[in-house]
Amino acid sequence: MKNIWSPVNEINSETNNIREWSSKQILEYGLKELISVKNAIEKVIPECEKVADIIIKRFKEHGRVITVGAGGSGVAGMSVMRELPQNHRDINPDQFFYKVAGGVEIFNPLGCEELEDSFERGFKDMKDLDLNKKDVILLISASGRTPYILGASESAKKNLAYTVGVLCQESELSEKVDLPIFIDVGPEILLGATCEKAATAQKHILDMIMNVVVVRLGLTDKNICRARLVHEKAKIRDRFFTNKN
């Protein structure tokens, strides 16, 4: 195995003395982190374009697009995928959805984070979906070594689904997917807090890819979503733009 994850790679030498910083210094460093996210994302635009094209092709073949993650990375995927069928009424929610390690248990106060350590659970969650070669699985992991994600990846590959790794460290997952998207954001402000910069980068990558997908598939009216009219805001917007046009 060429790429083995190690917490050594997560040490941020710039923030060793963060407890001596002023509140303003901590806030300003946080803004600097956003710039590093932007720079890292710029480098993977070609990979994102390729993934978007694959999703578009397989969507037309009635394939499914599924994000799979654990912890903050899983929630990043969930936040993107749960919005798509709401914002775009021509999307079948059975075609675009998410899986998070632990399922609804992640909403418990401590999130049941230990469930990310089950390779078997990840493998089974994918097996239960009856995947096929039309499906695209977006595996999201900051470290790229989460057992749940590795199990899901192995199961997806076994069933011929196209696998994409969205990760922030070159590690095991890089070598187990058809296409890795390595977002080199560097170490977090606080070691272990990968729900911050890493998850932010992963969510933005997913947003970017899905924006390409819905525009190229003609699911928008110019730059306006054709939302499901399920809540008052959507109904107000719909009336406004219908009257305007």
Measure CA 88 to chain center.
Answer: 19
Q: Summarize pLDDT for 73-115 with one digit per residue, the tens.
A: 999 999 999 999 999 999 999 999 999 998 877 777 666 667 7
Q: Summarize pLDDT for 177-190 with one digit per residue, the tens.
A: 999 999 999 999 99
Residue 65 lies in a domain: yes
Integer CA distances (angstroms), 25 to 164, 186, 238, in order: 37, 19, 44
Annotated active-site residue in 83, 113, 170, 175: 83
Residue whose structure tokens are 């900051």: 142
Q: Give yes or no for a contact between 176 and 165, defined as CB atoms under 8 angstroms apart.
A: yes
- Which residue segment(s) compose the domain that 123 sits in? 44-244
Domain with residue 129: its CATH number is 3.40.50.10490
pTM for this one? 0.92
Active-site annotation holds for 83 = yes
Residue 66 lies in a domain: yes
Question: At residue 61, what are phi and psi to the nearest 5 degrees?
Answer: -90, 10
- Round to whole Å and give the CA distance between 177 and 190: 29
pLDDT band of 3, cuts 50, 70, 90: low
Annotated active-site residue in 10, 33, 47, 116: 116
The yes-or-no verdict on residue 2 having pLDDT over 60 is no
Residue 59 lies in a domain: yes
Q: What is the pLDDT of residue 96?
A: 95
Residue 24 lies in a domain: no
Residue 90 lies in a domain: yes
Integer CA distances (angstroms), 197 to 144, 179, 182, in order: 15, 22, 14
Residue 20 lies in a domain: no
Instruction: State the total domains in the chain.
Output: 1
- Round to whole Å and give the CA distance between 227 and 9: 42
Residue 75 lies in a domain: yes
